[in-house]
Structure 1
């Protein structure tokens, strides 16, 4: 596991499907929503994306911090504003099945935790490392709880690299 500070110089816009949950709800299989969100995304949207397209998990609308309060999670893809209008309209039509939402990842500073391996264990390991880091008494950074996101490199939701971006001040 590696971590480094990165600055996004431009905002990213993503589209996808969304749920609202809490970390407490995700502990129990009966109340967890994220697994079902990703399953629905994989079944209904991932196959429509171009091969090798990065996939994003965007965490936003935090009620408070990571211990209490709800937040929204969007499983989705980045919108490329440089695509021509015809290409954009046809790809939007294919992908806009169900309740598709749009979310903006703001420009700013992020601490990035990278992991490689089998999903979903790899992404859970990245989150555990992030929580461990931010809960350490000597932590150098402060989370913003504005937007955090996972970037699945080359769109691989089974095995590969995930970069977890945590928004920092």
Structure 2
């Protein structure tokens, strides 16, 4: 990431003037961090790269809307990239949300099993979740969005968002138990 706030301001100013070198520098600085977000929402690297590039185009097009007083540049870009991922999943017609009135008791994952896994292994397990459950799990657990905001974003009830997170935890817990038993 860029070290100093002054550097960020200079970089943003350059991007606002359509300076290709500033845009390239911004892209290189945030490529891996934002690319990791895209990988969490897609099934393959090719789709993730396409989403990342589409997201950067939106970032460059809308950089004039970034207000440092409202938050960090990374947070603003993260929101744009996440929205690109959600739009991509909607277009793929992979995500269908059925209303759920109530959710069962919250499930917690086994921390011992999680400690034995690296991030790549965990990502592979998350990718095996049903698309809607995977999306809500990523938004809530990984990205930190509250259920209320997820419900608004995805046009669902807050209880449905909670159900998907709980369902993801149940499915991941089962997969972790199988892995723990095998080792």
**TM-score higher than 0.5 here?**
no
Query: How high is the TM-score relative to the length of structure 2?
Result: 0.24
The answer to which structure has the higher helix fraction is: 2
Mark the structure with the bigger radius of gyration. Answer: 2
Q: TM-score, normalised by structure 1?
A: 0.26
Larger RCO: Structure 1 or Structure 2 (Cα < 8 Å, ≥ 6 residues apart)?
1
User: Greater share of strand residues, 1 or 2?
Assistant: 1
